[in-house]
Structure 1
Amino acid sequence: VEGGGAGDEFFSSKRSTKSGSKYDYVKVRVWLSSESGQQQQPSGSGRDLAASPPASPPRHQPTDQHYYVLSRFLLARMLTAARVPKKKATQVMLELKKKLVDENRLDVSQRQLEAELFRLLRAKGYTDDFLDRFVTVRSFAQRRIPLVVLLCGASFVGKATIGCRLAEVMNLSSVLQTDHILAIIKRSDNLWQRGFDDDKDRGAPPSPGDTAKGHGAGAGGESSAANNAGAAERLRKKADILADFRRECCVVRKAVEGDLRKAIEDGKSMVIAGTYLDPVLFHSPGGVGSDIASDDDDDKDDYGDGDDDQDGGKRNGDGHGDRGRRQPSPIVPIVLWMDEEDHLDHTGMETDGGFEPEGKEAQAKLEREVVQKYYLEYAKNNDPRVKVCQVKPMQLAATVDNLHQHILECIKSAM
């Protein structure tokens, strides 16, 4: 980070932050003209912008144009979302701001700004893939398309840690920990009882008695009957766990409804992490991707440019036509799972109160087994949109990088 000289009293008196620079006190206006606005589409790749020659901005800007003040910190975070390392992104943006200020280019267009940025990136060895990803991320942010990342899985697989790291590298606004929400709801009998109203949306879970039927019938001999009785008891326990899991998923789904609607209507992005996030409740006809996106059918499409009209009036999953249809919000469901050995070695069966007693340890192990099996079977048999990712405790950075790439691909497909 560059600082002022010994005689630069104005800047030296402001050196209170480690990441500050004297160039931050000079404002550079970036003008959004009709010409630069055309470059907001992802079809204008980074290699085209980097090849365009710089043009001198006009002395007097038209009054019908809009501008924003360049913030190197915000653009550095967009570079980080495009998978440029955080430290490198900060250095690139400082060099860009320094170059513009030293050349007294305090009024530039969006196209000129990106051309200079891409030249710096190319000079540092970044390929066209990084440039194209930046264009996609920038266009995604400017169109205010909401993004909801669902991180679900059994307990103690690193959902909270991975969610926070993803939000940091993807520049997402918030991380919602639904396990804490459920714990608060369980403390209130009134809230807990109201959460059961959503059970009818999922359908009744399988009855423990029905699940265990037939496993003890037709057994030959006392030994066989005892074995079947033990198997039936284990099946009943699993059915009870699954029934409780589904009810708690319905409670959580209802609790996050307000946050989801606000994020999607305001065009914001968020990560929702927790054990009780059944993807069925977020992709069913009553889920987020359909009912919220179709609530404003009478409004104009704020994100598209009219390309949807070429579909010939196709209908959505909710039966509405394409007239005034708002672009569906991308919901990215991710299932995290961990091997049992890694589970035991990494967690030690710990809870807030210390180590689990022997009886609770077996129960907690069975609950994790049932929940993890449910998520994996759902992702395998029902929904190809669900990303399944194995978590290794000593390789969290690689896991976050893998999920980062997956989310960028989902964003690109949603543009």
Structure 2
Amino acid sequence: MREHVDRGHGGAVLRSDDAGSFTENAGFAVRENDGDVGGDANRAVRKAGSKYDAVKVKVVFSQGDGGRREPVSHVLSRYLISRRLTAIKVHPDDAVRVALDLKKRLVDRGMLEVHASELESELFAELLRRSYTPKELRRYQMVEAFHRMRIPLLILIAGPASSGKTALAMQLSSRLNLPHVVQADLICSMLRSSGIAGLDPRALWLRDDLDRAAFLAEFARECAVVRAALAEEVSKCCVDGKSLIMEGSCLDPALFADAMGPVGPAPWHDGAAAGTRAAPRPAVHVGDQRAVVHMPVVLRLATGSRCGPTGRDAAGQAASGAFAQKQRWVEEYLVASDREVPRIDVRLDEESTAAALESLHDWWLACVEACVEAARPAP
């Protein structure tokens, strides 16, 4: 019997000692029977959780209204703990391990109902045991305060088509533990198909009957239509204190500035690749009840890295270079129209994607810190 062990973000790795038994470690388990012939067809794969997951630990929060209401509680989730740790830049492998060790300590000590402050103390002790510093502890408290205050957050990722916006948005969503992502291009496509907004049913990026002026005029019209369609989503983000990521090639950050109020200053502008320098501490606008975080990002492909759409309809566009020309037009339009809007310009290629994520993560943490400080009452 051979052992096959694979690591993952959650659960536990069960190490196979024989055909019918497993011992606990951390991640995923793969068991393969050597006596079977057929390779992958006869391989049994299952995701396993820790035995500690069968025990529920209740986390209790302080009473509200002077104790007149029942205390609020929830069941501790290792998954959510690890996601929160990832958001403060704890390594994903460490985040999974810390969450599991935290649950083990609580269960082994019989702490099946803990106050939120006790849980935080135990979590910090685990982080310090793994050589993390008070910097990470303060960062965790800051992000938790940000979410408790229900401060609305809107991240806009704009840029030309086929520039990697969706991939960047999904990776950023996973890093920052922000699950709500709106794909504006899907909304624009539905509006074009329905005919409600009076848009041309043909995809703008695949049309070859428009010169530069006509193309940009149609692009601006699509951006305005999509902005109107997203008005309710933006309003809900502000009123409910939600965190939201919007991405798409029909987004113009300048059209969202009025709804969000003043923010800034901009971290950097034209020509600066993400990761080349740290973003300064941003100022934020504080309204009557909560601060608003507005993070516009404009994606720009590095020279020579431009790519076109895929599929039968796009073959002629990609071959002729017309698509790359339209990408340049949109880049220039966004840079010109958003010159007065605080934003971050990101030039993406295969080497700079990781640096871009790091820079955006740092900027998000700086915005969160500024908002928490601004929202706190004056002494």
Query: Which of the residues 235, 250, 257 maps onto 1:261?
Result: 235
Query: Which of the residues 212, 224, 232 maps onto 1:250?
Result: 224
Residue 353, structure 1, aligned to residue 312, structure 2: yes
Aligned to 1:388: 345
Aligned to 2:292: 329
Aligned to 1:33: 62
- Classify the secondary structure of the residue corresponding to 1:341: coil
Distance 1:132 1:398 in 2: 24
Cα shift at 1:88: 1.4
Verify the 8 A CA contact 1:151 1:335 in the aligned structure 2. yes
CA deviation string 1:258-316 (max 9, x = no partner): 222233333322210011211121012xx2449xxxxxxxxxxxxxxxxxxxxxxxxx8
Cα shift at 1:244: 1.4
Q: Which amino acid aligns with 1:375?
A: L
Unaligned runs of at least 5 residues, structure 1: 38-60, 195-235, 291-315
Aligned to 2:212: 238
Aligned to 1:342: 305
Cα shift at 1:386: 0.6
Cα shift at 1:84: 1.2
- Classify the secondary structure of the residue corresponding to 1:246: helix
Unaligned runs of at least 5 residues, structure 2: 1-11, 30-44, 201-209, 263-284, 373-379
Distance 1:339 1:3 in 2: 44
The alpha-carbon distance between structure 1 residues 163 and 136, as it changes in their structure 2 partners (threshold 3 A), is: same
Q: Which amino acid aligns with 2:315?
A: E
Aligned to 1:156: 162
Q: Which amino acid aligns with 1:31?
A: V
- Classify the secondary structure of the residue corresponding to 2:90: coil
CA deviation string 1:94-128 (max 9, x = no partner): 10110011011122222221111111111111122
Q: Within 5 A, what are the aligned runs for 1:1-400?
A: 1=12, 18-33=47-62, 64-192=70-198, 237-284=211-258, 287-289=259-261, 325-343=288-306, 347=307, 349-353=308-312, 355-357=314-316, 361-379=320-338, 381-383=339-341, 385-400=342-357
Cα shift at 1:152: 0.5
CA deviation string 1:174-209 (max 9, x = no partner): 211111221221122233369xxxxxxxxxxxxxxx
Cα shift at 1:358: 5.9
Verify the 8 A CA contact 2:159 2:249 in the aligned structure 1. yes
Distance 2:298 2:104 in 1: 44
The alpha-carbon distance between structure 1 residues 31 and 17, as it changes in their structure 2 partners (threshold 3 A), is: farther
- Classify the secondary structure of the residue corresponding to 2:245: strand
Distance 2:325 2:211 in 1: 9
Verify the 8 A CA contact 2:162 2:309 in the aligned structure 1. no
The alpha-carbon distance between structure 1 residues 30 and 144, as it changes in their structure 2 partners (threshold 3 A), is: same
Verify the 8 A CA contact 1:192 1:251 in the aligned structure 2. no
The alpha-carbon distance between structure 1 residues 28 and 366, as it changes in their structure 2 partners (threshold 3 A), is: same
- Classify the secondary structure of the residue corresponding to 2:173: helix
Distance 1:359 1:71 in 2: 47
CA RMSD of aligned residues (A): 3.3
Distance 1:166 1:105 in 2: 34
Higher relative contact order (CA 8 A, sep 6+): 1
Cα shift at 1:248: 0.9
Verify the 8 A CA contact 1:3 1:22 in the aligned structure 2. no
Please, what TM-score do these two structures have when normalized by structure 2? 0.72
The alpha-carbon distance between structure 1 residues 244 and 178, as it changes in their structure 2 partners (threshold 3 A), is: same
The alpha-carbon distance between structure 1 residues 82 and 359, as it changes in their structure 2 partners (threshold 3 A), is: closer
Distance 1:174 1:24 in 2: 27
- Identity of counterpart residues, as a percentage? 31
Cα shift at 1:241: 2.3
Cα shift at 1:351: 3.0
- Classify the secondary structure of the residue corresponding to 2:211: helix
The alpha-carbon distance between structure 1 residues 372 and 114, as it changes in their structure 2 partners (threshold 3 A), is: same
Cα shift at 1:19: 4.5
Q: Which amino acid aligns with 2:113?
A: D
Verify the 8 A CA contact 1:289 1:328 in the aligned structure 2. no
- Between 1:90-99 and 1:124-133, the stretch displaced more is 124-133
Verify the 8 A CA contact 1:173 1:268 in the aligned structure 2. no
CA deviation string 1:16-43 (max 9, x = no partner): 96241121122222222369x9xxxxxx
Verify the 8 A CA contact 1:179 1:274 in the aligned structure 2. yes
- Classify the secondary structure of the residue corresponding to 2:59: strand
Distance 1:25 1:237 in 2: 64
The alpha-carbon distance between structure 1 residues 182 and 65, as it changes in their structure 2 partners (threshold 3 A), is: closer
Verify the 8 A CA contact 2:227 2:255 in the aligned structure 1. yes
More strand per residue = 2
Return the index of the structure with the highest Cα Rg.
1
Cα shift at 1:359: 9.1
